[in-house]
Amino acid sequence: MSTAPTTARPIPGTDIDPFALDSLRDPFAADGAVREIGPVVHIEKHDYYAVTRFKDIRKGLRDWRTFSSTDRPFYEDSPFRPRIVLFEEPPAHTRTKSAIMDVLGPRNLQWMGEYFKQQADALLDRMLDQDTVEGDGYADLAAAYVLKVFPDVIGMPEEGRELLLKFGSAGLNAFGPPSELRDRKLAAGAEAVAWVERNIDRDSLTEGGLGRQLYDMADEGRISEEEARDLVKTVFAAGFDTSTSGIASMLRAFGDHPEEWHKLRRDPALVAGAWEESVRLYPPNRFGGRWTPDGAVVDGHRIPAGAKVLMMWLGAARDPREFDRPDDFVIDREMRNGHLSFGFGLHTCAGNLVARLEATTLLRSMAERIEDVASAGEPRTAVNYQAFGHEYVPLRLRRARA
């Protein structure tokens, strides 16, 4: 991908601003429009390059030397997003990512799955107190569930957890150009940052939880004490934001497509595919940042050395070159190359393992208990720089007969 052709084709530019409010209110339209301009597009207002199409993003993410993660557009140090793992390359990345993957490995995933099932069943049993109920798929299901289960398995205290929604919202706006929106979101998250900083210390975490396990690795000399602390925050941020956004979007997809819910009820083995299709349709992560130390070539277009780049995952999620009927929700869709909603390659989001477990566990419990899922009104999407999600998903649920 990094070998330049004899004559590189010029890179088209656009005055579309992916960070303008109109774009944030409808990122699928904005990012889709940029995608159709070309496989790589110069975003003139902010002077960065957008790689826009599925095939080229997947190829580029595999080549971490050409598309380096050590810098990106708009980056400044942020208490919401530690540099560790996200901005590292091998060998440092190999060591710290290995620590995360051990903590999120089969042994912990087994007991986490059992705990998630217990809590999902309890939440649904409380909610389904009548034959038909209406509720908010974001607040009553996604946020209520994730705010309970994920801080619990990390080992964080109960008191003050409601602040974590503001922490997540601020983190989703930490990378982007200065604006009133960004300033407002970051300011709203200040109290949440203080809560997180207090509660990721070793002494604040319960014995046996994921957080203390990372500190145990520091005691063993695998990572430093400072790295352990940063990794606790990284694991939390990776598993919380993605899960909440992804689950709410999945519920919106089923509410809009009740026939797919009936398909799932007939064949519960489709649970895993339903989750993958929902995050393909509604990627929780809109983009990922890179830079090109020595330049790069994308489909014959030469990106200059030292350029800042955004890999536009959300636009690629509905790339008609890769997906048939890309705007449709089809839970038994065959995705021959998967999706890019959690990145790809070296820097695939480690939190996707937890997000998948949380979401599929809740979905299985719902499929056991709920006959019908339908929309009960107009959903509201959240306005964020880096992510796509919902802040309101009205649903009507009809309880299955025993």
pLDDT at 2: 47
Query: Cα(378)–Cα(7) distance, rounded to whole angstroms?
Result: 50
Residue 147: pLDDT band (50, 70, 90) is: very high
The pLDDT of residue 91 is above 80: no
First and final CA of the chain: distance in angstroms?
A: 57
The reported pLDDT for the residue numbered 95 is 78
Confidence category of residue 4, pLDDT binned at 50, 70, 90: very low
Q: What angle do CA 182, 188, 193 make, to 5 degrees?
A: 105
The pLDDT, as a whole number, for residue 305 is: 97
Q: Counting beta carbons within 10 angstroms of the beta carbon of residue 30, is it exposed (0 to 12), middle (13 to 18) or buried (19 or more)?
A: buried
Beta bridge partners of 51: 40, 311
CA angle 147, 110, 145 (to 5 degrees): 15
Confidence of residue 56 (pLDDT cuts 50, 70, 90): very high
Task: Express the helix, strand and coil content of the chain in percent, nearest 5 each.
Answer: 50, 15, 35
Query: The pTM is what?
Result: 0.92
Q: Look at residue 86 in the predicted model and tell me its pLDDT.
A: 65
Mind listing the pLDDT tens digit for each residue in 151-166?
A: 999 999 999 888 888 8
Name the helix (H) or strand (E) containing 133: strand 132-136
Mean pLDDT computed over 98-119: 91
Cβ–Cβ < 8 Å for 271, 363: yes
Q: Which of 367, 390, 379 is nearest to 283 (CA)?
A: 390
Cα Rg for the chain, rounded, in angstroms?
A: 21
Q: For 304-331, what is each residue's pLDDT tens digit?
A: 999 999 999 999 999 999 999 999 999 9
Residue 242's pLDDT band (cuts 50, 70, 90): confident
Task: Specify the pLDDT at position 85.
Answer: 60
Distance, in Å, from the CA atom of 274 to the CA atom of 253, rounded to the nearest integer, reads 10
Confidence of residue 104 (pLDDT cuts 50, 70, 90): confident
Distance of CA 173 to the CA centre of its chain: 13
pLDDT in tens, 197-232: 899 999 999 999 999 999 999 999 999 999 899 888
* All domains in the chain, ordered by first residue: 13-399 (1.10.630.10)
Q: What is the pLDDT of residue 235?
A: 78
pLDDT greater than 80 at residue 195: yes
Only one residue has tokens 């990378």, namely 175
Instruction: Give 46-65 as a DSSP string.
Output: TTEEEE-SHHHHHHHHH-TT
